[in-house]
Structures are given as structure tokens and as C-alpha cells.
A and B are shown apart, each in its own frame.
Chain A
């Protein structure tokens, strides 16, 4: 009995201790990709993330410490920009630390809470409201806008609204980035279609998509004997839902949350129709690969001439630079409308720069100089494919010369929308992404039921005090 009691006690202690560990730290980074990552496609397709990238620029005893998540292909261009900054400001030096976004969002709040924040951070506009609500950011009005160093009206208005919390502008946009249509003109021509004439609405798109999609035997989805398990060329791919779904929802007149931020509308008839459209593309018309975990990245399909229309990020410019053969047959355009009435809309976001709570005067002054430099030198950043934040920089000839950037800039200014700013933004985003994941998981998924469950969850979050 004593043995048993001892054993039981031992196991209980072990259980408590193991439970206290709570699963421990992740052994590898999660599925989701940062908007700046070249490989950002499918939230349900996890890929290993790089280890933190730490670079020092210049030499001095008290460097400006910068944390960011620009670890994708745009990271190389960003590093060149930082080098240019220290070359132009020899009295300053920089310590730049790039982290996968999930690691970044663990380090950032804990560093601020511990009183050891970096001098400057870069993350996304969509997350500003949440970080500001947690008290992790300093307002930027008195630091950089009110003294005329930067002019707010030179930025995209929607973007400035998204990063304004309780009347205070909490960050400085570094760029605009988001979805753009990249399409393969060679495959269109091979299918007998004119690459200069793109489908204008959902019905037209299905017609075109059926002509473009073919299996290994050359049969199209609307032909007898089409082999859906061995498709050679897909018309379109369901790329990163974080951008694809809001874009489609807005095209259809739906959304995740109402404009006033009080009501979940993920289960509205318009929203259901939008997600059902993607379901149909995958499982009814067989013109898009099923949205399942581990599915191949659209870029891999695209560069092998197996995908015609690719909804991808502005950062795909770097991918095209690395793949000149496919770039030679690629054109860009506004994201095509899938809605019945052809309504256009596209989601865009921004890498924003901000100063964490607790940074001293010296750190603020240094961060201000770097922010100003980065914003004013957005033309160089445009070589990574991202759209410069300042409209005046967007208009520069060297920026307009980059076709994808010029198109994206026009698109974001004309039809671009940002996510609704909310203090629980990431939780809301996770809720709708899960719901849409359920809706598109299989041919038999009940889209309306999945979105209803998601809407209930989003509403529960909105209802919290």
C-alpha cells in the first residue's frame, strides 16, 4: 500500500508539473505566413520558418534596436535599405532582428512588460488596434506627424484610419501590400483566350476557368472523362485565405464584421454566397485545387506552368525576379471580381513602424530618423514588390516603371480595403479563418452551417466588454 501511495503521489506530482509546462514552446513555427513572406499562400499549409535573422549595421556603442518580421525574400531588400540608412547617418548604428511573426508577437509584449523593449518594431496595420489596446505602442502624432516631419494626407486614407486608435495615430506606414492578380499569358493563349481580355464577374470567370483547366489527358472539367485527381493545369488556386476571403466577401457585399464593428456578418447571405463560390470552384467545377492542409503552394504550381490565375501578394515581385522564365509570360492586373455583378474590392495591409511603450527619448529620436528615412526611400523598397506608403513616392517614375507595383498602387488606392480594426482582431481573424476552413474542407462541407458557427463565435468576441 505504501508503494502504491508513493507511486500515486509521484504520478500526481508529475501530472501537475507536466501540465504546468502547458505543452512547452513550439518546436517549430506555425502554419501561418507573414504578409511579407514570399512563400505566403495558404494558412493551412505549414512550412518551416527560418530562425531569427540578426544583422548589425554600422558600429557604435548604443545601437538602435529594431525588431520585425521581414524574413521573406523582401528581407534582403530591407537589409540593403538599412545599410543605406547607416551609410547616410554615420553617427547611428543598427541592430536589426527579424523573427517569424508568431515569435515576434511573443517577444514584443513580454519585452515591453519587462521594461526592455526594442527602440522600434515593424508589424502589420491590421494588428495595431490590438497592440495599442494592450498598451504596447506609443502614439506617433507628437513624435512624427504634428511637427510636419511626415504628412498624414500623403498616406492612404483607409490605412491611416486603420491605425488610428481613440483619435491617436499609433504607427507610421512603411508600405502598402496586398493581393494582386498575376496571370500566365502563355497558358491563356494556349487555351485560345486573349490575355488582354479578363473575366469581369463570377459567371464569366467560371466559363474561362473551365477552358483553362485541363487534366493530364487534356480534358476540361466540363468534358466527359475529366480526371479531377490528375489535373495538369488549374485555372486558379485558393491562396492565403487571410487575403483571398475578405477580398471575395467584400466583392459579394458581405464581410466578417459590420462596418460599425458590432455585428458578425460572416453568415449573411452575401458572405455565404462568396464562400460557396470558392467551394464550387473546387468541388463542383474542379477549376481550383481543394483547400486542404498541406496542399501545394500556388507559386510552385505557377512557376511550373500549372496555374493560370494566381491571387498573390505584391511581394511576389521578388518571386518573379527569381524566376525570370515565368516572369516573362506573366502580367498583373487588379484582382478579378468573382461576384455576380462584377463588384471590385481587394484587401490590402501595410507594414507599419511603431515605437514600443517604454522607449526612452534617445531611442525615440533614433527611431524617428529611421522611420523618416524608410518612408522617404520607399522607391527602393518598391524593388521588393511592395508598394511605397507615400502617394508622392508611388508616383515617382522609378516606382511606376515596376509594373506590378504601379498596378498594385492604383488598385489599393481605388478599390483597396483594410480589415476592420478591433482590439481582438487576431482572435476574430482566427475564428473566421477556422470557419472558412471548415466550410471548404471537403465536397460535402455545409458552407452555411460552418459560417453560422463562425459568426456565432465572432459575435461572442464582439460582445465581450
Chain B
């Protein structure tokens, strides 16, 4: 068995060094301490508490909760509504992220170089993003409403077409919500893409031009590859944000028709605060978190292969 053979003077020196280092690092720890405190109280603790509650049949007024192990997770596997809401959410997320990225990329390419009015257009495209989601919901209702919506007004009165039940048709309701969300959020992605494009060295474009590359080739072989780190950031943050979609369906459709636009977080909220099934709701949140983590890792892995730093 190995034992320490350090002399007393050497031990004192080591301790001295340790305290010296601690004294030097202490201000750093003190700086992060306030944040760490609130982070722990309001985020870390709830995360672990949520994990714990998911293992119980949690009743709000009971002091001794009934431990049920993984029963909530087993029930979740057989819960058709959960899978439907998860599928709705995934569909909404995929649609929104794809439309957001394509539109933002397109607009950012157009607005990359300054021209008269380019700053105005940047502000204009970003402006919807400063609206609160409740305002977005009310606008959404006014646009998509079958009877009094502005879209159907144009379709019926100007084009002579039929009234379309945008929010009443299970096949159209999620695309309608996705389009509404894209209008609201693509400005942020656009700004990030513009910033990313400005980081690409200009000589690369000049060299490509000298070699006879056209705008499309330049975009494909220079802009897109060098924009991959930005793309990764945009896709991952958009994915995480849209997987948690709540207020748009909550305000605009109430999750209907039927469950056609009910999102997973909406179901989670209802399970906890309407049905008082807090344990089950916690298991939904844990599963959602796991899904987001797994998909994020997959996105990272896939996109990293195409990333040029």
C-alpha cells in the first residue's frame, strides 16, 4: 500500500501553493456565485425534482407520495394522444425549421451587401420577432379565420375562390401554424446568417469570380460550406425552440380540430394543470427533454461532418 512520504516542510509548501491558487481563483468563483445560486435554485433543482416526481403518482396535497417507479413511462408508451401530439410537434418543427432556414438564407443573401433601403428591409423583416406570442396569436386568428380572415377575404372576393378552412382542416392546420411562426421568427435567423456571411473572407469570392464562378456556384461552393457553423447554430436553436411550441396552437386553435394541432408541451401543460397528473406530466417533460437531446446530438454529428471551421 503506497503511503505519503512528504516531509513536513514540503507539505506546508504544497498547502501554501494550494491556498495561493485558491486566493487567486476565488474572485472568479465569487463572480459566478450569484448566477450559480439562482441557476441551482430555479433550474437545476427543478430539473432533478421533475425527474423525481416522474417516478411518483404525485398528488398535490399528499405528504407521502406513492412511488410507482417507471409506471408513468410505461403508460406514456401506450398513450396515443402523447404520440399524436409528439408527431404534431415534430411535423411542426420540421416544417418551421426548414422554412425558416430557407427563407432566412434567401433573404440574408439578398441583404448581405448594403444598398439603399437594405437597413430598412432588415428592420422590417426582423420586426415581427419583437411581437409577443399572444399578439402573434391574435394576428394569426385574424389572418386564417375561415369566416372573417383576411386570407379568405382575398380568396373569395378578389379571386372568386372558395372559403378555405385553414384552421379547421386537420391537414392544413399545422402548416398554417408553421407559416405564422416562420413570419414571426425568421428575422432572427436572417440576422444570424447575415452576420455569418460577413465572416466569410471576401478574397474567396474574388478568387471565385476570377475563376469564372457564377452567383449560384459561388453560393454553393463558398457561402454554403463556410456558413455551416452558423447553420448548425440556427438549426439547433430553432429545433429546440420549436419543439417546445405552445402558445401558437394554444391561442390560435386550442389544439384543434380534435387533437390535430395539439403540441406535446400543450399536452404536458394540460396533464399537469387541468388533470392534476403531475407525475405523468413530469414523465412527459423528461421524455421530451431526452428526445431533444438525442436529436440535437444527431444534428451536431451530421452537420459537423459538413462543417468547415
A interface residues, Cβ below 8 angstroms from B? 3-4, 7-8, 11-12, 14-24, 26-28, 30-32, 43-46, 48, 102, 105-106, 109-110, 112-113, 130, 134-136, 229, 289-296, 357, 424, 426-427, 430, 434-435, 437-438, 440-442, 450, 453, 457
**A294 touching B146, Cβ below 8 Å:** yes
Pick from A19, A26, A30: contact of B288, CB below 8 A.
Answer: A19
**B309 touching A20, Cβ below 8 Å:** no
A to B CB contacts below 8 Å, 19 in the list: A15-B293, A19-B293, A20-B46, A22-B285, A24-B246, A27-B137, A27-B247, A44-B254, A102-B273, A134-B60, A136-B61, A292-B167, A294-B253, A296-B148, A424-B275, A430-B275, A437-B256, A441-B169, A441-B258
**B259 touching A434, Cβ below 8 Å:** yes
- Asked if B230 CB lies within 8 Å of chain A CBs, one says no
- Asked if B240 CB lies within 8 Å of chain A CBs, one says yes
**A23 touching B254, Cβ below 8 Å:** no
Segment of B95-103, B114-122, B207-215, B296-304 in the binding face: B296-304
- Residues B131-176 near A (CB distance < 8 A): 132-134, 137-138, 141, 144-149, 156, 162-163, 165, 167-170, 173
Segment of B193-201, B220-228, B262-270 in the binding face: B262-270
Q: Contact string, B261-289, partner A, CB cutoff 8 A, digits 1/0?
A: 01101101110011111000000010011
Q: Which A residue's beta carbon lies closest to that of B257?
A: A441
Chain B residues, CB < 8 A from A23: 244-246, 263, 265-266, 268-269
- Asked if B104 CB lies within 8 Å of chain A CBs, one says no
**Docked pose: A183 CA to B157 CA in angstroms:** 31
Beyond A134-B61, A295-B146, whether A16 also contacts B297 by CB under 8 A is no
**B43 touching A426, Cβ below 8 Å:** no
Beyond A28-B247, A293-B256, whether A22 also contacts B275 by CB under 8 A is no
Minimum CB–CB distance for B130 against chain A, Å: 14
**Docked pose: A106 CA to B81 CA in angstroms:** 22
**A26 touching B246, Cβ below 8 Å:** yes
Minimum CB–CB distance for B254 against chain A, Å: 3
**Docked pose: A21 CA to B251 CA in angstroms:** 19
**B244 touching A290, Cβ below 8 Å:** no
Most B CB atoms within 10 A — which of A4, A19, A31, A106?
A19
- Asked if B23 CB lies within 8 Å of chain A CBs, one says no
Q: Which B residue's beta carbon lies closest to that of A289?
A: B147
Minimum CB–CB distance for B163 against chain A, Å: 5
**Docked pose: A440 CA to B169 CA in angstroms:** 11
**B236 touching A18, Cβ below 8 Å:** no
Q: How many residues of B contact A (CB 8 A)?
A: 72
**Docked pose: A351 CA to B285 CA in angstroms:** 34
**A441 touching B168, Cβ below 8 Å:** yes
Chain A residues, CB < 8 A from B47: 16-17, 20
Pick from A102, A135, A434: contact of B62, CB below 8 A.
Answer: A135
Chain B residues, CB < 8 A from A134: 59-61, 276
Chain B residues, CB < 8 A from A16: 47, 289, 293
**Docked pose: A434 CA to B261 CA in angstroms:** 11
Chain A residues, CB < 8 A from B255: 31, 434
**A427 touching B167, Cβ below 8 Å:** no
Q: Which A residue's beta carbon lies closest to that of B294?
A: A15
**B240 touching A450, Cβ below 8 Å:** no
Q: Which B residue's beta carbon lies closest to that of A16?
A: B289
**B167 touching A293, Cβ below 8 Å:** yes
Q: Which A residue's beta carbon lies closest to that of B81?
A: A457
Q: Which B residue's beta carbon lies closest to that of A8?
A: B300
- Asked if B50 CB lies within 8 Å of chain A CBs, one says yes
Minimum CB–CB distance for B134 against chain A, Å: 4
Minimum CB–CB distance for B212 against chain A, Å: 35
Most A CB atoms within 10 A — which of B47, B241, B293, B304?
B293
**Docked pose: A246 CA to B236 CA in angstroms:** 46
Chain A residues, CB < 8 A from B246: 23-24, 26
**Docked pose: A289 CA to B146 CA in angstroms:** 11
- Asked if B86 CB lies within 8 Å of chain A CBs, one says no
**A22 touching B268, Cβ below 8 Å:** yes
- Asked if B80 CB lies within 8 Å of chain A CBs, one says yes
**Docked pose: A48 CA to B245 CA in angstroms:** 18
Q: Which A residue's beta carbon lies closest to that of B171?
A: A442
**B254 touching A229, Cβ below 8 Å:** no
Chain B residues, CB < 8 A from A15: 240, 289, 292-293, 296
Q: Which A residue's beta carbon lies closest to that of B57?
A: A465
Chain A residues, CB < 8 A from B240: 14-15, 18-19
